[in-house]
Structure formats: structure tokens, C-alpha cells
Chains A and B, each alone.
Chain A
């Protein structure tokens, strides 16, 4: 019974937890509910992933209305992979949030934070699991609206401006997306993704379909912060509450990447997107600019959280670069980096949240001598930083390996050179932290002491994951390769 309805429960549990939290309004109960809902979602995603690996894609008819008339939930190798990432990060951030939120938000807003956390989780999971293009828009709005609130809850007043900026750009993105979906409906008369994929070849190159592709590309690119549509991201990450930054950085842009992959390779198909149109060239060009410029900008930041935010723009560039290659290795790199960068940045932002709690901020002045003041946190940041660089033995290395391999096999040596040379910029910005933490004397009177265990443990779980998935890649690489094969094989 439960097994049968897992796809629905995946979304319904966190979705239902949110109004319950608002009704109860007690900070402690709200937290407990959010943790329980996040853990349930994680369990559901694991069960779904196992089932997909065993028996192939799952199709679930919402309310027993069979697709394509009803809303279909569909879990395949790609969506199962993303569901596990999103729900795992959600399940780690929820217990972490208690101390962090208590320190950063006024008490009367605590319950609100947890309600919005659950809503955001439900929205992101819904975007990933749904097999219906319009339903995807609905979940996109749920996730986006809750993100605006999460960001605006930041105690820095600039958080409001950042949330407003994101609200404007995010709404434009969602609107573009829904216009694209509308055009597709016009051309095919269906909203079900599988059905769209089946009917589009008949309507192949009509102007409406091409316009739909353009609208969806721009709309989703805004959401995933592809250069030059990334302007909302650095401020949003920098001023949001620590727990929210970690959650958003590890999941939100990744789900948008998933949506892009879904539309490019399932709905429109590789022959149209990759072969007939210059989409790969555009993606590769923009990604290259994103990687180089954002890495360089990151190098000059005075605030470590902002540095990491710009690094995210660059790292998203690596993902879209892999998509642009549109080969099996390139797509493997994109999907595996989506996962690896999710856990790496998640770990970094969680640890940075611990520093913010103890030191009151994370500009480089406050990081001086951190190696002695918070040894475990500093070591964690250093190890996750190595994963960001792509040192062998860490998750980031696996991504770099497939990116370079994909570039070499496509005969584009300059892309391989771009990937390895920009990794050196990452060395430089990670080492700014290492030198500050280990080779500088702390400022007099700088606070000392580790972050509380409830924050340190989830952070270190992700740091451990960065190392584990660097040595044993059977889950990540196999999952990514299956997803890549699915995307290229599904092409009509």
C-alpha cells in the first residue's frame, strides 16, 4: 500500500507538513515536524531509487486519472538520482537548522522558517518527480515562492533586496517557462511530458515549437543561474540565513538543471536540440564565460560566503558545459557534477553557517586563525574545498575526470584546457581560506570554540560524502551513466 503510493508520498508528506507547522506555531514542534517530514522524504526517495534500479521506470497516476489526461508522476534513472540528492540534503539541513535558525532569526519567525523549508522541499521534489509540464510549473512556483521567503528571512537588511531581485528575475523565468509550455500545448494538444515527446516529431520544426524551446531555455536558465542570467544568485546566497543558503545552493539550481535536461533530451530530443540548432555551441560559449569570469570574481571577494556563491556560478558552468558537449561522457559529467557539486557546496555552506554562528560573520578578517579556533570546521572546509578544486580522492575529481574525458573525446582540447586551468583558479580561492585559517594569527578577542554538534554532524556527513564519492563512485557514476544513456537513448 505504502510502496504503491510512494511517488505521491514523496511530495505529499513535506507538502502537508507545512500547513500543519503553521497551525501549531511552536518553534520546537515545527522543527521536529520538519525533520520528520524531511527524513520521510529521504526514505521515500531511496526506496524509489532502489525500485527504479530493480524494475525500471515507475509511472504513478495521480488520483487514479490515467495519463495523459491525469497528472502522471514518473520516476526514471535521472529523476530518481536527483530526488535522492534533494531529499538527502533536505534531511541533513533540517536537523542542522535548529541552532542556526535560533541564532539568526527572531523567535516568532522560527515556525515560519520550518514551514517554508518543507514547502520548498515539496516544490523541488515535485518539480523532479512530476511527468506533467504544467504541474511542473506549479511546483516551480511553490519552490520559488518559498525560496523568496527563505532568502528574505535573512537578518541582514540587504536580504530583502536580494529576495526582491530574485523575485523579479525568478518570476520572469517562471513566466517564460509557462509561455513555452503554452506554445507546446498549442502545437501538440498535450501537457504530459512523455506524450509531448511522442507527438512533437510530427510538429517538429514549426515556429511555435522553436519559440517554445527558446522560451523554456531562457526561463529555466534564469532559474539555474546560467551566465549572464546569474545576477540574482550571489546576493541571494550571501544574505539568506545560513541553513537556507546551504539548502538552496545544494538543491535549487540542481533541480533547474534537471528540468533543462528533461526538456532538451526527453521532450524536444537530441536531434532537434543538439543536431539541428546551435544550442550546444551557445551553451558551451556561455558556460566557458561563466566558469572563467565567476571564478575570477570569486577570487577577489572579501566575504567567504560571497566567494562561495560566485564559485557556484562557475560550478554551474561546468554542469552546463557537460550538457553542451551532449555526448555520453559529457552528459555523465553534467549529471555526476550536479550531484557532486551539490554535496560539496552543501558541506561548505553548512560549515560556513557554523562559523557565522560562532564568529558573527565570515569575512576573511574573522576567519583568521580559524584552524586553531574551530579545528574540525576548518578541516572540513579544507577537505570540501579540495573537492571543489577536484583533487583526486574527492567527489569533485570524478566530475573533472568526465568533463576532460568528454572534451578530449569530442576533439575539443581547448575545453579540456579550460576545465583544468580554471581548476587552478579554484586552488587560489580555496587557498585564501586555508592561509587565513592556518597561517594567520587570530584577531585579539576573536571568539573560539566549535559549532554545536547538531550543526557539526550534518556538515561532516556531507564532507564524508565528498570523500566517499571520490573513492567509491559506483553509485554516482553508474547512476549518471544510466541517466546519460536514458537521455541519449530516448531521443526520437
Chain B
């Protein structure tokens, strides 16, 4: 809207430095090594949750630093989150059906 406002915000917003990017890149590769290595160990029930948790950590690093959401306005935070929130809705409510089928061992109940 008002150009002045925007300039002020622009100025007050910190910008990521190249070093931050490089460190993030290294962290991502380390996380990859971790998840790839862990996959050879049988964690039983936790195999997939741990792998997905590491994936979430990687995704957060990419979103907040590479995509610079951590350095952006709140509006960008909202739109970065909203897709994932809606994905959550799709998963939760769909799986509420698939996971609760056959509780009573009667077809359809």
C-alpha cells in the first residue's frame, strides 16, 4: 500500500548471510546422512516416524532459511503454513475413515 511503510519494513528486516546458507546446506546433508544411516537399524515401530521427523526437520530448514520465511513478513508465514495446514486437514479427516474401519470386525462398522 504505502510505499514508505514498506521501505521501513524492508530496512528493518534482517537479511540472511551467505554463511547461514552454507551452514544450512551442511546441516541438511548431515540430516540426510543420519536418516540414511538410521534406515539400516531396525527401530521397530519408530522406523517411519523417525524418518519422517528428520524429513520435517529438513523441510523446516529449507522453508525458514533457504526460502527465507524466517526473514519475511507475517503474511508470508501464513501462506507458507496454510498449504501444510490444509494438507493436515486432508490427512486427518480422510484417515479418520481409513483408520477406524473394522473396529468392530463387522464390515462397514
Q: Do A and B originate from a single complex?
A: no
B binding-site residues for A, Cβ under 8 Å: none
